[in-house]
Structure 1
């Protein structure tokens, strides 16, 4: 997507350069490239409104992601989706080789940055239940969901 500002007109351009098909958004008017017409430039107040609307909409996802922490239910749901991907073979045969390998792959799938921080240097071993690292991993996901730094997460539950 390109943003062009010319003569107090805000023009957003999206499209497929190889096919020559483009769509233009000019402060509320959408036009195909094949039927593009020249039109009068909007007033400066319309321009300012459209520009501010565009800016505010571009920041909505980041604002919404920081409004609340990830819930246990959301974590469970995402982890189940990871298990389904592993079972379907998307993560390769090594992730299906044992229940521990499957768990390590599910943790990596669920949150790669948290897996890297908590488990990558010392993955779970057969039969291991590490409650401290499990809490650190969950805390890491919590902090990421709020858009916070995960510095200091590792070791935060050590006794």
Structure 2
């Protein structure tokens, strides 16, 4: 009898633990504990994206040119920020777009903090 009681009480503990875990991981709690992504973390992640592209994980089109590789690396780094900043007008051969580069970096910063991305596009127009 004691064994049956202890097993049923331990099985009741699992749902309670799950509820507590879900509460701790709720977006409001996560947003308060987030920190901005660092330049080093961004660089490391982008280097991993380049490695994934080179290995073929992103398909042949991402290896077709340097600019295709760069667009794929940006999408890999953050598909959300890529769609916001570059999707309607991807980088072209020889293009260095410093303004959109700053917008992308700002987007990643805000995204890492769990903040709204409203106002990112166009925030660095000079």
Q: For this structure pair, what is the TM-score category when the shorter chain's length is used for normalisation?
A: 0.7 to 0.9
Following superposition, the deviation at residue 61 of structure 1 comes to 7.9
User: C-alpha separation between the residues in 2 aligned to 1:71 and 1:97?
Assistant: 30
Q: Which residue of 1 aligns with 2:21?
A: 57
Unaligned runs of 5+ in 1: 1-36
Alignment of 1:17-28 (within 5 A): none
Unaligned ranges ≥5, structure 2: none
Structure (1 or 2) with the larger CA radius of gyration: 1
Q: Are residues 77 and 145 of structure 1, via their aligned partners in 2, closer, same or farther at CA, if it must alter by over 3 Å?
A: same
Q: How many residues align?
A: 117
Pick which of 139-148 and 54-63 moved more.
54-63
1:151 Cα deviation (Å)?
1.2
Q: Distance in 1 between matches of 2:110 and 2:20?
A: 24
Instruction: Give 1:79's aligned residue.
Output: 46
Distance in 1 (alpha carbons) for counterparts of 2:30 and 2:44: 19
Counterparts of 1:1-159 in structure 2, within 5 Å, are 38-40=4-6, 42=9, 51=16, 53-58=17-22, 59-60=24-25, 63-64=29-30, 66-159=33-126
Structure (1 or 2) with the greater helix fraction: 2
In the aligned structure 2, how far is the partner of 1:148 from the partner of 1:64? 11
The alignment's TM-score, normalised by the length of structure 2, stands at 0.82
Q: Which has the higher contact order (CA 8 A, sep 6+)?
A: 2
Using the size of structure 1 for normalisation, the TM-score is 0.66
Q: Could you tell me how far apart the structure 2 residues matched to 1:144 and 1:39 are?
A: 47
Structure 2 Cα separation of the partners of residues 102 and 55 of structure 1: 43
Whole-angstrom distance in 2 between the partners of 1:88 and 1:97: 13
* Mapped partners of 2:119, 2:19: distance in 1: 33
- Give, in whole Å, the separation in 2 of the partners of 1:79 and 1:157: 22
Contact preservation (8 Å) 2:84, 2:121:
yes
